[in-house]
Amino acid sequence: MIFNQRIHASYGRFAIFALLLILLAVATAVSAQETVPPTTPPDAGVGLSLFANRCANCHGPAGQGDGEMAARLEKPPANYTDPEFRRTRIPADMFNTVTNGRLEAGMPPFGPSNSTNPISETDRWNLIAAVYSLATPPEAIAQGQAVYDANCAACHGDAGLGDGPEAAAQDTPPTDLTDLAYWFNSSNETVFAAIANNGIPAHAYDLTDDELWAVVDYSRTFSYLYANQNAPAEPIATAVISGTVTNGTSGELITTGDVLLRAFDANFQPTLTLTETIGTDGRYTFTLTDASPDWVYLATTRYNELGFSSDAARLDRANPAADLPITVFDSTSDPTVINIDQMHILANFAGDVVQINEFYVFSNLGTAVFVGESGDPANGTLQISLPENATNVNFQRALGTMDSSIPANEMITTETGWADTLPLNPGPSGLNLIVAYELPYDDGVSLTRPIHYNVTNANVIMPDVGVTAVGEGFEDLGVQDMGGTNFATYNRAAITAGATLDLALNGRPTANTTTSSTGGAAQPRNTTQDLLIGGFALLVVAGLALFLVRAWRSRADDDEEEYEDIEEEREQLLQAIVDLDVAFEKGQIEQDAYTAQRAELKTALAEIWE
C-alpha cells in the first residue's frame, strides 16, 4: 500500500530533527550540483512497476541482487535489502547511476543516452523511490513513525512541514522535512550522524540507535511516497482493455463476433469473465472499475469454430490501459506447410532397455492454421510415428525457454502412430513437443520409422559408453563435452517428408564405467541409473534439457529474445488453463483429470511467472 497520507498522531514534547536546520545549510551548497531534485515527491508505486520491467532481471524482483541476469554481469548488482545500502547511499548519486549507467559493471544507461527505450526524468526519480521502498522494511517505517509521533510531530507537524502546535514557541523555526533538495543530496548516515553526535540543544531525549535509524527511515518518506511491496495493491479506479481483431491470413479486420475477457488472480484462478461485441471497426473495448493490479488478463474469440487468444497482460496505476490485439486465421489441411525445424533424439541405456527422449520443434510455414489433413482437429493434426516395439510412451509440451513442460494429454493414437489434436497457428517454432519411450536393447536396436514432414535438422545425443549410431545421412560429430560429461553426437542436415528415418544404435554399453571430461580416471558405475550424470541428467528428467536444448537450437545469447520467449511461455500456459477450464465447463473432461491437469499447469505457470 502506498502511504499517500500521514497518519495523525499525538504531539510529543521533544523535537529530534531541529538540528536539520544546520544540515540544510550544507544542503544549500550541495544543491549546486548538476543533479536537480524533483519538484514533487517521487512515487514508489509507479517506480516498482518500472523496476519489475526494467531492473528486476538483474537486481531481482525484491532488489536482493539475485535477478536471472546477475550471474552474467562483471560485478554483482547491489543488494538493496542490506541495511548498509540504505544507510550510505545518496539519492542524487543513485539517480546519476540510473541515468548514465555503469558500463564497467554491465549496467546500461536509462537516461537520454539510451537511444532505444529511455526512461523519463520523472520515472527515474520514481525508480529511486522504489529502491528506497525495497530497501526499507515496513516494520522500520512503522517503528520510525511511532518515534516521530511521540518526539517530533509537536514541532515538525504530522506532515513534516514544520507547522506543529509547539513550533511557534521555538526560538528557531522547526525544519521543513519535506525539502526534497536536502533529502536527495543526503544519505541516511549523514542525518543519523548529525543527530547522534550533536544532539538537539533545545530538548533532551533518550533514544536508542535503532530508534534513531528508524525515525530517519520514516522521515525520509516525507520526500517520496513509500510503497510496501508486500501489502495488498490498491485497486486501479478505472482501467481499459481493448484491441483489434484481425484475420492474419487475409489481413482483413474481423467485424462480427464476441470477445471474451478473462481475469486470473495471483493463484491463477479465474476471477472475472466479461463479454463484448466486436465493433464494425474491428475493435473491442472493456472498461473496468477497481481493477486489481495482481490480476492477469487474457482476451479470446472464436473464428470458424476455433479459439484464438491475445497475449496475457497485467495493469498498474502507471499503465491503466492495455492493448490486446487478437489475430485469427483461416484453416488449412495442407501438410506441406508444416516443417520440423529440429528433431533431437536422446538415448540413455538402462540394462536391457534404451530410454529415448525425442524433442520436436514444429513450425507452420503457411498463413493459415493447420487443422490436420482430415480438416477436423479431433481426428489428428500433427502426426508422429515411433519405432516398432516402443513402450511406456509419454508426450509432454515444452514451453518457451524449455524450462518447464505440461502433459500433452491431447495426443491420440492413429493407424500410423500418434497425432496431436491441437491446431497449429502460422509462425516459427509454434510447438515444442517431447516424446519419451523405451525399446528393448540387446547390443543394438532400430529407431527406423516414417517421417511425415520436412525436417531441417536431426541429431542424436547419447552418453559416450561405446554405442554408435548408424543411419543414412547421419554424420559422426565426435564426442562433445556437455556439463563435464562426454556425449557421442551425430547430425543429419535434412529429411524429406514421406522419407524413412533410417537409424540404428549398435554396441554393448559399458554400463559399469563412464568417462568424465574433467580429467582423471573413469568413475565406476554400479547401476544404470548412475548413467544419468552431469549434463545428461538435465536432459532426461521430465524430457527437458534446458542446457542442451539451447545448444541444439544454436540460439544466440540474446537476452531480449530470451525474455520474449518467457513471455510466450506464460501466454501458452495461461491459454492452456483457459482451454482446460472451458473443456471442464462443457463436461468434456472428468473432475479428477481436470483437477490434476490444472494443478500441473498452475505449478508450471507459478515457476516462471516471476
Q: Summarize pLDDT for 8-48 with one digit per residue, the tens.
A: 322 222 233 333 322 233 333 333 346 788 889 999 988 98
Measured in whole angstroms, the distance separating CA 349 from the mean position of its chain's CA atoms is 36
Q: Is the pLDDT of residue 96 over 70?
A: yes
> Of 220, 244, 272, which one is at a domain's C-terminal end?
220
Q: Give the list of residues 6+ apart from residue 313 with CB closer than 8 angstroms, or none.
A: 241, 296, 297, 298, 322, 324
Q: Summarize pLDDT for 354-368 with one digit per residue, the tens.
A: 999 998 999 999 999
pLDDT bin (cut points 50, 70, 90) of residue 561 is: very low
Q: Can you give the pLDDT at residue 205?
A: 63
Q: Give the DSSP letter of residue 389.
A: T
Contact (CB, 8 A) for 170 and 120? no
Q: Can you give the pLDDT at residue 608?
A: 61
pLDDT bin (cut points 50, 70, 90) of residue 86 is: very high
Asked if residue 310 is part of any domain, the answer here is yes
pLDDT bin (cut points 50, 70, 90) of residue 377 is: very high
Lowest mean pLDDT among 111-120, 268-277, 588-597: 588-597
Q: What percent of the chain has pLDDT over 70?
A: 78
Asked if residue 276 is part of any domain, the answer here is yes
Is 252 in the same domain as 162?
A: no
Q: Can you give the pLDDT at residue 5?
A: 28
Q: Is the pLDDT of residue 402 over 60?
A: no
Asked if residue 9 is part of any domain, the answer here is no
Asked if residue 107 is part of any domain, the answer here is yes
273: domain CATH number is 2.60.40.1120
- Of 428, 434, 270, 305, nearest to 362 (Cα)? 428
Output 312-317 pairs: Cβ under 8 A, ≥24 positions apart.
312/570, 312/571, 312/574, 313/241, 315/236, 315/239, 315/241, 315/291, 316/46, 316/49, 316/236, 317/45, 317/46, 317/49, 317/234, 317/236, 317/293
**Residues β-bridged to residue 344:** 359, 459
pLDDT bin (cut points 50, 70, 90) of residue 328 is: very high
Q: Give the DSSP letter of residue 109.
A: P
Contact (CB, 8 A) for 129 and 4? no
Q: Can you give the pLDDT at residue 174?
A: 81
d(CA 18, CA 174): 6
> Of 170, 193, 220, which one is at a domain's C-terminal end?
220
Look-up of cell digits 547522534: 196
| E strand or H helix at 297 | strand 296-303
The alpha-carbon radius of gyration of the chain (Å, integer) is 31
3-state secondary structure of 87: helix
Is 369 in the same domain as 509?
A: yes
Is 395 in the same domain as 542?
A: yes
pTM assigned to the model: 0.62
pLDDT bin (cut points 50, 70, 90) of residue 519 is: very low
Mean pLDDT of 492-498: 94
Q: Give the list of residues 6+ apart from residue 400 with CB closer than 8 angstroms, or none.
A: 565, 566, 567, 568, 569, 570, 572, 608
Is 141 in the same domain as 198?
A: yes
Asked if residue 1 is part of any domain, the answer here is no
Q: Is the pLDDT of residue 547 over 60?
A: no
Is 99 in the same domain as 244?
A: no
Is 356 in the same domain as 408?
A: yes
Domain residues for the domain of 161 are 16-220
Is 476 in the same domain as 452?
A: yes
Q: Give the DSSP letter of residue 103.
A: G
Q: Is the pLDDT of residue 89 over 90?
A: yes
Contact (CB, 8 A) for 488 and 479? yes
pLDDT bin (cut points 50, 70, 90) of residue 184 is: very high
| E strand or H helix at 437 | strand 427-440
Q: Give the list of residues 6+ apart from residue 225 with CB closer than 8 angstroms, or none.
A: 2, 3, 4, 41, 42, 43, 44, 45, 129
Q: Give the list of residues 6+ apart from residue 557 with CB closer than 8 angstroms, or none.
A: none
Q: Can you give the pLDDT at residue 583?
A: 67
d(CA 423, CA 302): 13
Contact (CB, 8 A) for 364 and 415? no
Contact (CB, 8 A) for 78 and 106? no
In DSSP notation, 210-226 reads HHHHHHHHHHHTTSSB-
**Residues β-bridged to residue 435:** 358, 395
d(CA 114, CA 549): 33
Is 289 in the same domain as 368?
A: no
> Of 220, 254, 278, which one is at a domain's C-terminal end?
220
Is 586 in the same domain as 524?
A: no
| Secondary structure (H, E, C), 470-539 | ECCCCEEEEEEEECCEEEEEEEECCECCCCEECCEEECCCCCCEECECCCCCCEECCCHHHHCCHHHHHH
Compute how many other C-beta atoms are within 10 angstroms of the C-beta atom of residue 513. Answer: 12
Q: Summarize pLDDT for 282-304 with one digit per residue, the tens.
A: 999 999 999 988 889 999 999 99
Mean pLDDT of 163-191: 86
d(CA 409, CA 263): 25
Asked if residue 227 is part of any domain, the answer here is no
CA distances from 185 to 29, 89, 108, 337, 430 (A): 10, 10, 23, 62, 52
**Residues β-bridged to residue 241:** 286, 322
Contact (CB, 8 A) for 293 and 323? no
Is 195 in the same domain as 247?
A: no
Is 497 in the same domain as 403?
A: yes
Taken as a whole, the chain contains a residue count of 610
d(CA 573, CA 579): 10
Q: Summarize pLDDT for 429-466 with one digit per residue, the tens.
A: 888 899 999 999 999 999 999 999 999 999 999 999 99
Q: Can you give the pLDDT at residue 538?
A: 32
pLDDT bin (cut points 50, 70, 90) of residue 596 is: confident
- Of 329, 332, 333, nearest to 309 (Cα)? 329
Number of domains within the chain = 4
Asked if residue 411 is part of any domain, the answer here is yes
Torsion of CA 52, 58, 59, 62, to 10 degrees: 50
φ and ψ at 348, to 5 degrees? -135, 135
d(CA 133, CA 228): 7
Is 467 in the same domain as 421?
A: yes
Largest interatomic CA distance in the chain: 98
The half-sphere exposure of 373 on its side-chain side, counting CA atoms within 13 A, is: 9
pLDDT bin (cut points 50, 70, 90) of residue 506 is: very high
Asked if residue 305 is part of any domain, the answer here is yes
d(CA 251, CA 337): 19
Compute how many other C-beta atoms are within 10 angstroms of the C-beta atom of residue 285. Answer: 11
37: domain CATH number is 1.10.760.10
**Residues β-bridged to residue 446:** 504
